[in-house]
Structure 1
Amino acid sequence: MRPLTSGIRLSGAPVQGALLRGTAPRGVVGLDLDGVKVPLAEDGQFLLGFNRDAPPLGVLTVSFDDGEVVSEPLSIEPRSWRREFIAVAARGGVPSEAFMARRKPELELIASARLRSSDSAGWRQPFIWPATGRVSGIFGSQRIYAGEPGSFHSGVDVAGPVGAPVVAPADGVVILAAQSPFSLEGNLLMIDHGMGLNSAFLHLSSIDVKDGERVRQGQQIGRIGATGRATGPHLHWSMKWNEARIDPQMLVPPMGQ
């Protein structure tokens, strides 16, 4: 870990899409990153996440019990994202009223789930892959349609047969277990790992846990499927720390190790 002037120690360097672990010295009573509160454990441990499009400079504000406040500038390293240029405009258009009527409550459920916090200590664990198979989609990739950028890919995809097991990448608490398939995500499962960190698992053929259930790392939580908007059976695994989109592949060892 490298120490900052305030005594804060970070594991690794700030990079777009990265999740860093940190340790605060005694006397630190508050942290925030660019105005967003950073949860701080009693032993001084914490997480910092950097969005896919994080700007070049961030500021970590450290508050001490004697009233001192220290601002730590963080240089955030950019990444080269995979881009595919398509000569024609994107298909589709303005979503229909019927689609939006269905989509609005789904988005509200997702937003409400992400507001739920738990005392899970899963964030402290080294993460494992929730499924094994060919990595068929990477975080941050993006298509450019006739010069207009589409949405970037918000997670990592693992291709596999329908029914292949999906396990918890770390301990956590289930904050959303879809009762019926969502229009885009299909059978959606979300797990909170604590300290503002959560995982979402999309397109499942089945969900094997229920809302509010505590799960252990390696426990089967569902099965790979192709529900929702999916071109074939695969698991889409995405992660967020507060509002920052995190690259899950940066938290796990290479597939098969």
Structure 2
Amino acid sequence: MLTGRYQQGGFAIGRTSPRARVFVNGVDEGLASEAGYFIVGFDRDAEPQAIIRVVNADGEASHMAQIAPGDFDIQRIGGLANNQVNPTGEALLARIRAEAGRKAQGFASRADLDGFKTGFIAPLAKYRISGRFGGQRVLNGEPRTPHYGADLAAPAGASIRSPAAGVVAFAETGMHFEGGLTMIDHGQGLISLYLHQSRVDVRRGEMVSQGQVIGAVGKEGRATGPHLCWRMKWRGRNLDPTLMVGARTPA
């Protein structure tokens, strides 16, 4: 049984027997939770079809998901410091490499949870979408990779809430590109990220509940004004976190 948003950057949430094994396009993506819940993410550049298959002791079932193309724009941002677009200097490059290594550890988190099963709330009480997920980025006139987050403009200091339960997989301030950065593992490789924070209120390994304040909006790192860049990954695939708001699991 599946529900979800079948589009590039979307997802499917399913329920099956406890600890059934889940495959996507023939690749083993782990086990369903003790309650039988599982999640599958469709990358920003996902192919038009995805075969979701679950296997347990009694047999297997599969579903061919038809993935609609995303609606992506072009986002032009100017006025950024050059070291935020084309960083140079061995000390800065070494710092960026070290930060990338620590972030990779956060992305590798695989908590045995199903925090996604209650659905997601927005991380801010009030905001304006200033940058949509998936748009082609042009920074200081230079074309770059797509923007894998949703930018939510809000006043500096506004409280950031955890959209769903999970465990903190990463929490640091002073990151070169991200400023204050928090990652939350909601289970089965679903990681949400919160960038440019002026304050980080949680620690790595801490369990958080839905609605719990985890930090505050800022403009740290590569940013031109106060906002929250909200991102989400599922096992390396880039998802649109706004599509998760209001998601519900099958009964």
* Aligned partner (choices 177, 180, 187) of residue 171 of structure 2: 177
- Cα distance in 1, alignment partners of residues 9 and 63 from structure 2: 20
- Cα distance in 1, alignment partners of residues 192 and 18 from structure 2: 31
The answer for the alignment partner of 1:128 in structure 2 is 121
CA contact (8 A) 2:5 2:11 kept: no
- Cα distance in 2, alignment partners of residues 119 and 27 from structure 1: 13
The answer for the alignment partner of 2:66 in structure 1 is 75
CA contact (8 A) 2:18 2:36 kept: no
Q: What is the number of equivalent residue pairs in this alignment?
A: 237
- 1:137 has 2:131 as partner: yes
CA contact (8 A) 1:28 1:62 kept: no
Q: Larger deviation: 130-139 or 94-103?
A: 94-103
CA contact (8 A) 2:111 2:186 kept: yes
Assess, with a 3 A threshold, how the Cα gap between structure 1 residues 223 and 36 changes in structure 2: closer, same or farther: same
State the structure with more CA Rg: 1
* Runs of 4+ in structure 1 over 6 Å off: none
TM-score, with structure 2 as normaliser: 0.84
CA contact (8 A) 1:190 1:198 kept: yes
* Helix, strand or coil at the partner of 1:11: strand
The residue type paired with residue 63 of structure 1 is V
- Cα distance in 2, alignment partners of residues 108 and 84 from structure 1: 28
The answer for the alignment partner of 2:35 in structure 1 is 43
The answer for the alignment partner of 2:219 in structure 1 is 226
Assess, with a 3 A threshold, how the Cα gap between structure 1 residues 94 and 224 changes in structure 2: closer, same or farther: closer
* Helix, strand or coil at the partner of 2:102: helix
The residue type paired with residue 71 of structure 2 is S
TM-superposed CA distance for 1:71, in Å, is 5.8
CA RMSD in angstroms, aligned pairs only: 2.6
TM-score, with structure 1 as normaliser: 0.82
The residue type paired with residue 59 of structure 1 is I
- Cα distance in 2, alignment partners of residues 194 and 110 from structure 1: 17
Assess, with a 3 A threshold, how the Cα gap between structure 1 residues 123 and 77 changes in structure 2: closer, same or farther: same
The residue type paired with residue 78 of structure 1 is P
Q: Percent identity?
A: 40
TM-superposed CA distance for 1:228, in Å, is 0.7
> Higher strand share goes to which structure?
2
In structure 1, the gaps of 5 or more residues are 1-8
